[in-house]
Amino acid sequence: MVDLSDFDPALTYTSYFKYRDKCQNDKQRRHLESVIRHAKGEVDGDLSEVLPTLMPEPQYHEYGVYANRVEDLGPKGIAEVTANYEEMVRNGSYVIESDKHRVVIADDEIVTEGSYRQILNKDVAKKMGLLAEDDDSHDFYVLFARTIVFWDFDENDLCSEDRYVTSHRLVPIDESQLPANYPAHLRTQSSVLSSQ
């Protein structure tokens, strides 16, 4: 049984804090603080914090996010990137805990490596190719994976990102195991009522 009692979405941005001392100049510090703001906005589901950190026309390159797909499936341009974030907020897949194990900081890019746990409902798991289309055995899952992210910055300190994901492991969970911040509208009615 998966233990999510220590599930901490804040780790997604607080795990950057210990790398602040690696910044060698103001430019690097601005970039790292922008990444922290971006990551906090993501796990808070607050796009008013995420979108201002983005380049005018960000080009996301994503490899391995979807199972058994090798091509780049990242959104391109501000409309697609915004729509992608809005969909994550709608479907609850922004409920994630990402721990950074390594952060490399240069003047025009930041590279991070780490592991994460992400809560997915069965529909999202199917869309990502992690679950068979006819598998309705469980409603919720935890995705365990490792990721490397390349954050690029323009002359205005705004970012875009390239993400590589590997070592997917999908584990079913009961609804009672969902973290406290999992969206109420995606829980079953009985669960919502019992928590009120």
Tell me, yes or no, whether 58 lies in a domain. Answer: yes
User: Is 192 a residue whose pLDDT tops 60?
Assistant: no
Give the pLDDT confidence score for residue 121 in this predicted structure.
95
96-105: strand order across its sheet: 61-63, 159-173, 140-153, 109-121, 96-105
For 156-187, write each residue's pLDDT tens digit.
999 999 999 999 999 999 999 999 889 888 88
Assign 196 a pLDDT band (cuts: 50, 70, 90).
very low
Q: What single-letter DSSP state applies at residue 156?
A: T
Query: Encoding tokens for residue 147?
Result: 């990721």
Domain residue limits at 39: 11-191
User: Is 193 a residue whose pLDDT tops 50?
Assistant: no
User: Is 189 a residue whose pLDDT tops 60?
Assistant: no
Give the pLDDT confidence score for residue 1 in this predicted structure.
77
For 92-120, write each residue's pLDDT tens digit.
999 999 999 999 999 999 999 999 999 99
For 57-90, write each residue's pLDDT tens digit.
999 999 999 988 889 999 999 999 999 999 999 9
Number of domains in the chain: 1
Q: Where are the beta strands (DSSP E) in 45-174?
A: 61-63, 96-105, 109-121, 140-153, 159-173
Q: What is the pLDDT averaged over residues 18-32?
A: 97
Tell me, yes or no, whether 25 lies in a domain. Answer: yes
Of the chain, the end-to-end C-alpha distance in Å amounts to: 26
User: Is 26 a residue whose pLDDT tops 50?
Assistant: yes
Give the pLDDT confidence score for residue 127 in this predicted structure.
95
DSSP 167-181: EEEEEEE-GGGS-TT
- How many whole angstroms separate alpha carbon 169 and alpha carbon 158? 33
Tell me, yes or no, whether 105 lies in a domain. Answer: yes
- How many whole angstroms separate alpha carbon 66 and alpha carbon 70? 8
Tell me, yes or no, whether 30 lies in a domain. Answer: yes
- With a pLDDT cut of 70, the percent of the chain lying above it is 96
What number of other Cβ atoms are within 10 A of residue 6's Cβ? 9
CATH of the domain at 27: 3.10.450.50
Tell me, yes or no, whether 89 lies in a domain. Answer: yes
Tell me, yes or no, whether 3 lies in a domain. Answer: no
Tell me, yes or no, whether 153 lies in a domain. Answer: yes
Give the pLDDT confidence score for residue 180 in this predicted structure.
87
Tell me, yes or no, whether 5 lies in a domain. Answer: no
For 134-163, write each residue's pLDDT tens digit.
999 999 999 999 999 999 999 999 999 999
